[in-house]
Structure 1
Amino acid sequence: MVFKNTASLNRRNLLRAGAAAGVSSLAMPEVSWAQSEKTVKIGNIDPRTGTYAALGGNQIRGATMAVDEINKKGGILGRPVQLLVEDSQGLPGPAVSKAQKLVNQDKVNFLMGSVSSAVSGSLSQFANQHDLVFVDSGGHADAITGKKCTWNTFRTCSTTWMLTAGDFEPLFKKFGKKWFFITPDYAFGHALYTDYVAQLTKAGGTALGNALAPLGTTDFSSYLIQARAAKPDVLICLQAGDDLVNLLKQTVQFGMNTQMTVAGAMQEMEVLEALPPAALLGWWTFEWYWNQPNVPHVADFVKAYKSRYNNKVPTARSWFGYATAHALALAANQAKSLDALKVVRALEGLELPPEVALQPGKCYYRAQDHQMIANMFPGYVPKDASYPNLFDVSQTIPGGDIAKSPEEAGCKMAYPS
């Protein structure tokens, strides 16, 4: 989504531009912007094509909804907010090229987005080179807020450690000690595997093998043959997006779901929606779930999202985009500035209000490493699963109970002088 010469757009022009772009209206009828108001620009880099397109699409939808709400309430510093969306294709190279365009041509004030951890790492480095605030919406690898943390990068989604710790105990106690892994061969998969194995080894279990599959794999037969030969108690599937859809379909075709427990660290509504009924199975961790009875504001959010997006319930990815855009606005308004360091200081320790957190307890960006501390929702896919009731949450685990400390994660923050 690109806007030209936006410094003096009036409210009518802003509305016309937003409608033409089809991503986000820039103002709501309740607010009247002065002609001289310069827009605050958020660059949103997410996959709209490729393996993670469905995940990126919902992050964009959540962010778009948030931006409209922000503008309805007066924008950022009394100025209209503009969401500029670019397609990362789920790959670091295109993502950085799009970031360069957003910074050099579009003059964005903030960057957000990403699904792939490899993309998130590259965008974090890029943002650091340009002294720009970047909030990683959905790339999970531990290092982003761990050993490779930077003063200007924050993360809304959880770490891979939190994902694996979310369901490790029930998997180990219920289903057995011998596990085999099928792992996407890049940063996200490697981090998940390392984290699970650390917990498995400590508990006295055994990793029987680890089959590394390239991102975008469509035929998992050779990896499933390896897994069957190992005879594990648990088959751990660490893929995401379309890759996990293909893997679970083929796992059922091979009949392996009758021979071992199928499980993994992260499951998402986008994947479950894309599966045939026979492949709806397994034990997983969700990072946010639409059905949270008695949690304030969740039902209202779900209703508004469904009304806006063709009766679809919001997903964890929707919440990532929604919470991230709101957090940037809250921090800038609190800082009364768009200066990167001032916004960073406001983000550090920022607690999301209940109508944005949309889950129990306290959700906040930890000051020491900029990691969001929220909840994990481990559970399983029920036998009678049908949309939108595709997952049963067995418990809600506060992220602070399982997250590594900043020191354990290896974050050593350095700020500009």
Structure 2
Amino acid sequence: MSSSRRGAALALALSALLGAGSTAAAQVPVKLGVLADMSGIFSDIGGKGALEATLMAVEDFRKLPGSDALKIDVVSADAQNKPDISSGIARKWFDSEGVDVLVDLPTSAISLAVAPLVKEKNKVALFTASGTSELTGKACTPNSVHWTYDTWALAHGTADAIAKAGGKSWFFLTVDFALGHSLERDATAVINAEGGKVVGAVRHPTDTKDFSSYLLQAQGSGAKVVALANAGGDTITAIKQAAEFGLVDGGQSLAGMLLFISDIHSLGLQTAQGLQLTTGFYWDQNEQTRAFGKRFAERNGGRYPTMNQAGAYSASLAYLKAVAKVGSAKDGAAVVKAMREAGSFDDPLFGKTSLREDGRVIHPMMLVQVKKPAESKGPYDYYKILATIPAENAFRPLKGSECPLVK
């Protein structure tokens, strides 16, 4: 090769190398922070499974055309189910560690505390594990996205079905924080609308070990339905102890206002059979959900995904697509706007999905019943789908919304 050709070849190689370097340097940085209960009573619902689901979303995003424009990092921390600790972690992440978006947020109290901070810093919060419908009401922000479920949807699924089937008198056993209060409030409205009546209620602290005094009050009320307006370990403990007290044998029925497939697994079908609940996701619903569920289980010791973990996957994937469209993760409100402007799309786990101006992600919900042991064909084959609630009916309508973003 002549010296001139060698020089040209060298120049071309150098140009290619510099071009590759400039492409790498031009990658848009985006960092997701999974703030979940890693060690407490909600860890099976979200926890490390929520982190794994977020990592799966990143993997799947990287398969899409143009995804190499983003440099994606994921960090995680234990929220410890405490609003002050969670707010401190979020502030540190935002101020000094470059985190752009929060995923999971394990309790309503944490979410309500963190939402104003996210707005102040112009970041994004993907509330995939929070229940209170206040997040899309008075507490809505242009930086918040409420995925998966909320107390309005749960109440209008489970309470409505049970009330219409003849469950007219109710007693609430309610966890004393934002989630429980919202569940009781939203379900009470449904019960009253169906001509039923709430004859009593009692509130208990988070992570209660002994429900005996509360269950005695529920028995003494004479209510036909004892509603458990709590979640995670509290719900599991309450149901187990209710069985010991003979509530169901005595003619009362239990209504789990917020139950997850991990709860059913912990309870066992012998104890949980017949329970009705509302969920936004079930791994055995269709081919796409089954593929995700089996892939998730292979990475998580055989445990199949809860709807919160599915929510972490879908919300993270939608968020990354919006960042790629905007070209930056720095303006959180702009990213949320891009998510909303994407319009209705077919989410692989939740079906027909869209984001409203109040921050509420709407998608179909399902009313399911826990199978009898003889009906289950294997691990996590736990649900019979009784009804599918269309997206437009599953969540609180915008009419009369208290969210200041709704025109």
Measured against the shorter chain, the TM-score band is 0.7 to 0.9
**Counterpart-to-counterpart distance in 1, 2:66 and 2:115:** 26
Deviations, residues 238-273 of structure 1 (Å, cap 9, x unaligned): 111111110010010101122211113221011111
Query: Structure 1 247/95 Cα, relative in aligned 2: closer, same or farther at 3 Å?
Result: same
Aligned runs of 1:358-397 on 2, under 5 Å? 358-360=349-351, 362-366=352-356, 368-384=357-373, 385=376, 387-397=379-389
What does residue 136 of structure 1 align with? 127
Q: Which runs of 5+ in 1 are unaligned?
A: 1-32
Query: Structure 1 85/110 Cα, relative in aligned 2: closer, same or farther at 3 Å?
Result: same
What does residue 91 of structure 1 align with? 82
Q: Given the alignment, which residue of 395, 399, 402 partners 1:403? A: 395
Does structure 1 residue 283 correspond to structure 2 residue 276?
A: yes
Does structure 1 residue 348 correspond to structure 2 residue 337?
A: no
What does residue 322 of structure 1 align with? 313
Deviations, residues 164-191 of structure 1 (Å, cap 9, x unaligned): 1012232012242111110111111101
What does residue 6 of structure 1 align with? none
| Structure index of larger Rg | 2
**Counterpart-to-counterpart distance in 2, 1:414 and 1:266:** 28
Q: 2:101–2:125: 8 Å Cα contact kept in structure 1?
A: yes
TM-aligned CA deviation for residue 36 of structure 1: 7.0
Q: Secondary structure at the match of 1:396?
A: strand
**Counterpart-to-counterpart distance in 2, 1:277 and 1:143:** 33
TM-aligned CA deviation for residue 222 of structure 1: 0.5
TM-aligned CA deviation for residue 278 of structure 1: 3.7
Q: Secondary structure at the match of 1:358?
A: coil
Aligned runs of 1:262-273 on 2, under 5 Å? 262-273=254-265
Q: Given the alignment, which residue of 59, 63, 70 partners 2:61? A: 70
TM-aligned CA deviation for residue 56 of structure 1: 2.2
**Counterpart-to-counterpart distance in 2, 1:359 and 1:127:** 26
**Counterpart-to-counterpart distance in 2, 1:274 and 1:51:** 12
Q: Secondary structure at the match of 1:266?
A: coil
**Counterpart-to-counterpart distance in 2, 1:53 and 1:308:** 16
What does residue 192 of structure 2 align with? 201
**Counterpart-to-counterpart distance in 1, 2:92 and 2:66:** 24
TM-aligned CA deviation for residue 38 of structure 1: 6.1
TM-aligned CA deviation for residue 341 of structure 1: 3.0
TM-aligned CA deviation for residue 37 of structure 1: 4.4
Query: Structure 1 217/351 Cα, relative in aligned 2: closer, same or farther at 3 Å?
Result: farther
TM-aligned CA deviation for residue 277 of structure 1: 4.3
Deviations, residues 373-393 of structure 1 (Å, cap 9, x unaligned): 012111211222563112222
**Counterpart-to-counterpart distance in 2, 1:246 and 1:351:** 41
Q: Given the alignment, which residue of 326, 338, 348 partners 1:335? A: 326
TM-aligned CA deviation for residue 353 of structure 1: 4.6
Letter in 1 for 2:82: L
Deviations, residues 129-162 of structure 1 (Å, cap 9, x unaligned): 2111211111010111111111111111222111
TM-aligned CA deviation for residue 402 of structure 1: 3.6
**Counterpart-to-counterpart distance in 1, 2:337 and 2:224:** 47
Q: 2:370–2:382: 8 Å Cα contact kept in structure 1?
A: yes
Q: Secondary structure at the match of 2:283?
A: coil
What does residue 53 of structure 1 align with? 43
Deviations, residues 275-305 of structure 1 (Å, cap 9, x unaligned): 1444213221122111114xx5223222322
Q: 1:376–1:398: 8 Å Cα contact kept in structure 2?
A: yes
Q: 1:178–1:205: 8 Å Cα contact kept in structure 2?
A: yes
What does residue 253 of structure 2 align with? 261
Q: 2:104–2:308: 8 Å Cα contact kept in structure 1?
A: no
Deviations, residues 70-96 of structure 1 (Å, cap 9, x unaligned): 234367561221111111011111111
Query: Structure 1 101/320 Cα, relative in aligned 2: closer, same or farther at 3 Å?
Result: same
Q: 1:71–1:81: 8 Å Cα contact kept in structure 2?
A: no
What does residue 14 of structure 2 align with? none
Q: 1:49–1:90: 8 Å Cα contact kept in structure 2?
A: no
What does residue 4 of structure 1 align with? none
Letter in 1 for 2:335: V
Deviations, residues 392-411 of structure 1 (Å, cap 9, x unaligned): 22111113114222343311
TM-aligned CA deviation for residue 117 of structure 1: 0.5
**Counterpart-to-counterpart distance in 1, 2:350 and 2:185:** 29
Q: Secondary structure at the match of 2:119?
A: helix
Letter in 2 for 1:41: K
**Counterpart-to-counterpart distance in 1, 2:343 and 2:248:** 41
Q: 2:160–2:190: 8 Å Cα contact kept in structure 1?
A: no
Q: 1:378–1:393: 8 Å Cα contact kept in structure 2?
A: yes
Identity %: 26
Letter in 2 for 1:179: W
**Counterpart-to-counterpart distance in 1, 2:350 and 2:46:** 22
Q: 1:87–1:98: 8 Å Cα contact kept in structure 2?
A: no
Q: 2:46–2:306: 8 Å Cα contact kept in structure 1?
A: no
Does structure 1 residue 292 correspond to structure 2 residue 285?
A: yes
TM-aligned CA deviation for residue 414 of structure 1: 8.7
Does structure 1 residue 111 correspond to structure 2 residue 106?
A: no
**Counterpart-to-counterpart distance in 1, 2:207 and 2:154:** 22
Aligned runs of 1:233-272 on 2, under 5 Å? 233-258=224-249, 259-272=251-264
**Counterpart-to-counterpart distance in 2, 1:399 and 1:212:** 32
Q: Given the alignment, which residue of 222, 225, 233 partners 2:216? A: 225
Q: 1:287–1:316: 8 Å Cα contact kept in structure 2?
A: yes
Which one is further off, 306-315 or 191-200? 306-315
TM-aligned CA deviation for residue 223 of structure 1: 0.5
Q: Secondary structure at the match of 1:395?
A: strand
**Counterpart-to-counterpart distance in 1, 2:166 and 2:83:** 37
Query: Structure 1 147/220 Cα, relative in aligned 2: closer, same or farther at 3 Å?
Result: same
TM-aligned CA deviation for residue 192 of structure 1: 0.7
What does residue 188 of structure 1 align with? 179
Q: 1:237–1:263: 8 Å Cα contact kept in structure 2?
A: yes
Query: Structure 1 53/71 Cα, relative in aligned 2: closer, same or farther at 3 Å?
Result: same
**Counterpart-to-counterpart distance in 1, 2:394 and 2:30:** 36
Number of residue pairs matched by the alignment: 378
Query: Structure 1 200/36 Cα, relative in aligned 2: closer, same or farther at 3 Å?
Result: closer
Q: 1:197–1:207: 8 Å Cα contact kept in structure 2?
A: yes
Q: Which runs of 5+ in 2 are unaligned?
A: 1-22
State the TM-score, normalized to the length of structure 1. 0.85
State the TM-score, normalized to the length of structure 2. 0.87
Q: 2:362–2:394: 8 Å Cα contact kept in structure 1?
A: no
Structure 1 residue ranges, 4+ long, deviating more than 6 angstroms after superposition: none
What does residue 9 of structure 2 align with? none
